[in-house]
Amino acid sequence: MQTKPTKGQFTGRHMLMAMIGGFGIVIAVNFYMASLATSGFGGVIVKNTYVASQKFNGWLDEAERQRELGWEAQPQRADDGHLVVETLGVPELAMASAMIRRPLGELEASELELVRQTDGRFRSVEPIAEGRWIVRLEIASAGQSWRQEQQIR
């Protein structure tokens, strides 16, 4: 003969509700995290990791050649919105170009035309929007080239 559970007694029904509630929370958090992960990824950084690993030593050699040039550049967004690049050790006849893009997750990108100013700095012709940008600078002079990627705000 079965007796009714007394008040405050933990029963199978309580256990079932605890299990459903616990797993429900875990599943809800997993779906939320998965939606954040898929909506925040703007694309593939390296299309083929094997090929990238084969080129790695070449990239290190190129970085060493750039370091030996002794060129330095510091990009920043000026108060008027233009990209300004202060340089050190860069030849006077050097040409510079810049590609800007938003950090991962935001697909906005554009190429900027940089013009050398009388004070030696480079300045973009068009202003850039406020916010975080990744600037890829390329400076070339007399057959030598130098590249740098840097984040600005």
Sign of the CA dihedral with 72 first, then 73, 74, and 80 last: positive
**What are the tens digits of pLDDT across the range 8-29?**
899 999 999 999 999 999 999 9
**What are the tens digits of pLDDT across the range 86-134?**
999 999 899 999 999 988 766 778 899 999 998 889 999 999 989 889 9
Q: Which residue has the tokens 């990791």?
A: 49
H or E segment and range at residue 75 = strand 72-77
Total number of residues shown for the chain: 153
**What is the per-residue pLDDT for 100?**
93
- The C-alpha atoms of residue 147 and residue 62 are separated, in whole angstroms, by 10
The residue among 96, 93, 94, 106 whose CA lies nearest residue 133 is 106
75 to each of 86, 107, 135, 150, 151, how far by Cα in Å?
Answer: 6, 21, 8, 8, 9
**What are the tens digits of pLDDT across the range 27-54?**
999 999 999 887 766 666 778 888 888 8
Task: Give the list of residues 6+ apart from residue 137 with CB closer than 8 angstroms, or none.
Answer: 73, 75, 85, 96, 97, 98, 146, 147, 148, 149, 150
- The C-alpha atoms of residue 6 and residue 135 are separated, in whole angstroms, by 70
**What is the per-residue pLDDT for 44?**
67
